[in-house]
């Protein structure tokens, strides 16, 4: 198997808000890589710092320490103006709430081409129009929609406009921040299909941020579970569902609603209690417990996880 190309590398990333007594550590020593062409998911409850990581990659939030590499180049902290512009073009973001993330007073035409205006990525007016039309078609909207305002569209259509706006910049990497949480069930499937199709046709790489593990299992290649700013477990999607090790992952999995009444009514809800970890003597480490399956814990816990794996395999 050829070595996978790393598109994004995150090294010892720390992000804090405020200073002094009010300092709050939102992201705490996070390490992971995102390979080219994959969908990497970050899963955790609200306030766990998953969005903050996504925003740090797109250079919206500043990084306190550690670094982020994009194609081997550092893109965090102070960088040259050219690189900054490059990153803004190549790393795009799709936002959670399509009702709030579009400018109510602008026409779709302007919303979609705002990035083109900013970087002057078009030859003339005709070229720009063509690009907007192509982007709208690609996300399954009609080119006529360009002259309308956002309030004329349904939630699913608005999310498509948000996707078109990201696509027109021809990004390589897209941060999708809960792109379907605010949508209706019947539309969720359509948007998921669209994202998957675009990944194939354009060779995109996604960072998919979500709190709902059931959706994540369908769409992602690898999943990282984040709790209070720390990644506690990282594995391939199926592996994580088959052998969840960290108690927080287990709690999260137990909370996922299953659309099967028999299973769902038998299900036992696990609640994660962080006080089960005794890190006073034996400090926790980030360890590869199985190939490509990482978990955060101290030696005693890691031993216990290994026993669990043996039991399930036996």
Partner 1 sequence: MERTPLLSAKDIEIEFTLRGKVLKAIRRCSLDIYEGETMAIVGESGSGKSVFTKSFLGMLDANGRITGGSITYDGVDISQYKTEKEWMTIRGKKIAMVMQDPMTSLNPLKKIGKQIQESIELNQGIHGEQAKKMAVEMLEKVGIPDAARRANQYPHEFSGGMRQRVVIAIAAACRPQILICDEPTTALDVTIQAQILDLIRNLQRELNMTVIYITHDLGVVANVADRVAVMYAGQIVEYGTVNEIFYDAWHPYTWALLSSLPQLGIKGEELPTIEGTPPNLFNEVKGDAFAPRNKQALDVDFEEEPPFFAVSETHKAKTWYLDPRSPKIEQPQSIRRLREKMERERK
Residues that bind partner 1 (CB under 8 A): 45-46, 154-155, 184-190, 192-193, 196-197, 211-215, 217-219, 237, 251-252, 254-265, 267, 269, 271-272
Query: Considering the complex, what minimum distance in angstroms separates the CB of residue 199 from partner 1?
Result: 11
Cα distance between residue 137 and residue 222, in whole Å: 30
Cα distance between residue 76 and residue 85, in whole Å: 13
Q: Which residue's CB is nearer to partner 1, number 116 or number 270?
A: 270
Decide: helix, strand or coil at residue 24.
Answer: strand
Query: Considering the complex, what minimum distance in angstroms separates the CB of residue 98 from partner 1?
Result: 13
Among 225, 227, 229, which Cα is nearest to 217's? 225
Q: Which residue's CB is nearer to partner 1, number 251 or number 309?
A: 251
223 beta partners: 41, 235
Query: Considering the complex, what minimum distance in angstroms separates the CB of residue 66 from partner 1?
Result: 27
Among 228, 248, 242, 251, which Cα is nearest to 295's? 248
Say if residues 247 and 301 touch (Cβ distance below 8 Å). no
Cα distance between residue 2 and residue 177, in whole Å: 30
Q: Which residue's CB is nearer to partner 1, number 19 or number 185?
A: 185
Q: Which residue's CB is nearer to partner 1, number 126 or number 262?
A: 262
Q: Which residue's CB is nearer to partner 1, number 143 or number 155?
A: 155
177, containing H or E segment: strand 173-177
Cα distance between residue 207 and residue 84, in whole Å: 20
Say if residues 12 and 195 touch (Cβ distance below 8 Å). no
70 beta partners: 8, 73
Q: Which residue's CB is nearer to partner 1, number 269 or number 276?
A: 269
Q: Which residue's CB is nearer to partner 1, number 31 or number 190?
A: 190
Q: Report the chain's C-alpha Rg in angstroms.
A: 21
Cα distance between residue 268 and residue 9, in whole Å: 37
Handedness of CA 113, 114, 116, 122 (dihedral sign): positive
DSSP assignment letter at 150: G
Tell me how many degrees the CA angle 181-184-189 measures, rounded to the nearest 5: 85
Q: Which residue's CB is nearer to partner 1, number 97 or number 308?
A: 97
């Amino acid at each position: 198997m050829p070595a996978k190309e790393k598109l994004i590398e995150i090294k010892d990333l720390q992000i804090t808000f405020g200073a002094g007594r009010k300092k709050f550590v939102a992201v705490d020593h996070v390490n992971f890589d995102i390979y080219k062409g994959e969908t990497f998911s970050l899963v955790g409850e609200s306030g766990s710092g998953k969005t903050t990581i996504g925003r740090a990659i797109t250079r919206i939030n500043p990084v306190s320490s550690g670094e982020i590499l994009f194609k081997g180049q550092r893109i965090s902290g102070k960088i040259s103006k050219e690189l900054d512009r490059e990153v803004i073009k190549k790393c795009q973001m799709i936002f959670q709430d399509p009702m709030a993330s579009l400018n109510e007073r602008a026409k779709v035409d302007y919303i979609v081409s705002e990035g083109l205006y900013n970087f002057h990525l078009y030859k003339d007016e005709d070229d720009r129009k063509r690009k907007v039309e192509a982007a709208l078609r690609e996300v399954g909207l009609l080119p006529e929609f360009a002259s309308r305002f956002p309030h004329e569209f349904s939630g699913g259509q608005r999310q498509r406009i948000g996707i078109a706006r990201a696509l027109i910049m021809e990004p390589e990497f897209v941060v999708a921040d809960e792109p379907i949480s605010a949508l209706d069930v019947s539309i969720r499937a359509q948007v998921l299909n669209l994202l998957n199709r675009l990944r194939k046709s354009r060779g995109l790489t996604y960072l998919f941020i979500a709190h709902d593990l059931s959706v994540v299992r369908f769409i992602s290649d690898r999943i990282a579970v984040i709790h209070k700013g720390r990644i506690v477990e990282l594995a391939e999607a199926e592996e994580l569902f088959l052998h969840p090790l960290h108690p927080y992952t287990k709690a999260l999995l137990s909370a996922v609603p299953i659309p099967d009444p028999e299973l769902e009514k038998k299900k036992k809800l696990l609640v994660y209690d962080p006080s089960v970890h005794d890190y006073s003597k034996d400090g926790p480490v980030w360890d590869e417990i199985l190939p490509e399956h990482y978990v955060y814990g101290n030696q005693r816990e890691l031993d216990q996880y290994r026993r669990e794996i043996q039991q399930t395999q036996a």
